[in-house]
Amino acid sequence: MNDEKKKIRPEKEAIEGTVRDEVSEASFIFLVNYSGLSVDELKELRDQLGGCNARFRVVQNWCITRVADGFGWSEIQAVIDGPTGVVLGNGDITGAAKAVDKFMSDRERDGALGGMMGDRYLAATDVLALAKMPTKQVLQASLVGTLAAPMTGVVGVLNQKLASLLYVLKAIQDKKS
């Protein structure tokens, strides 16, 4: 049996090349079954993902299978079933996971089927766990608050010591007058 890839039409090679480029530039991807969703609903999903620096793309199964095979992502090939769309992004992965999860749960559908973050496979449960995490901005604000709390305490102590010194100096001045 010949191990070479099956010859495909030039148009399909171009589509595969475009998808491969988009996937290679993305820091994460999720696979989503979009069966039963209308064009307007998919536009709404695309709009929600735009705020997370992510996008939704409908990709034929043969294409995403070949791209996944090219990257050595055997795990992702197992979840490709039915009409599959790809969420690609470089922004906040938790924001994109939240957007997909909320969008799909509002329509009483399963969320992401799985995905990849760099070279790490994400099962559907991993994507759901990402959706439950706080967003990047919330985590950053929490970190800043945690770092600022001790500094606020130091400033308060220094202000009290300065105020005490001023009271002593004021008492000395009053005593001398």
Cα 123 from Cα 137, distance rounded (Å): 24
Q: How far apart are CA 93 and CA 173, in angstroms?
A: 63
Mean pLDDT, the chain, integer: 85
For residues 28 and 52, the model is more confident at 28
Task: Report the pLDDT value the prediction gives residue 2, as an integer from 0 to 100.
Answer: 43
- In terms of CATH, what superfamily is 10-133? Ribosomal protein L10, N-terminal RNA-binding domain (3.30.70.1730)
3-state helix, strand, coil in the chain (%, to 5): 60, 15, 25
Would you state the pLDDT for residue 161? 77
Can you give the residue ranges of every domain in the chain? 10-133, 134-177
pLDDT digits (tens, 9 = 90+) for 130-174: 888 887 778 788 888 888 777 777 777 777 877 777 788 888 888
What is the structure's pLDDT at 3? Answer: 42
Whether the predicted pLDDT of 88 surpasses 90: yes
pLDDT of residue 21: 92
Quick: pLDDT tens for 99-130: 899 898 888 887 788 899 988 999 988 888 88
In this predicted structure, what is the pLDDT of residue 5?
56
Q: Backbone dihedral region of 160: left (phi > 0), alpha (psi from -120 to 50 degrees) or beta?
A: alpha
Got the DSSP string for 106-167? HTT---EEEEEETTEEEEHHHHHHHHHSPPHHHHHHHHHHHHHHHHHHHHHHHHHHHHHHHH
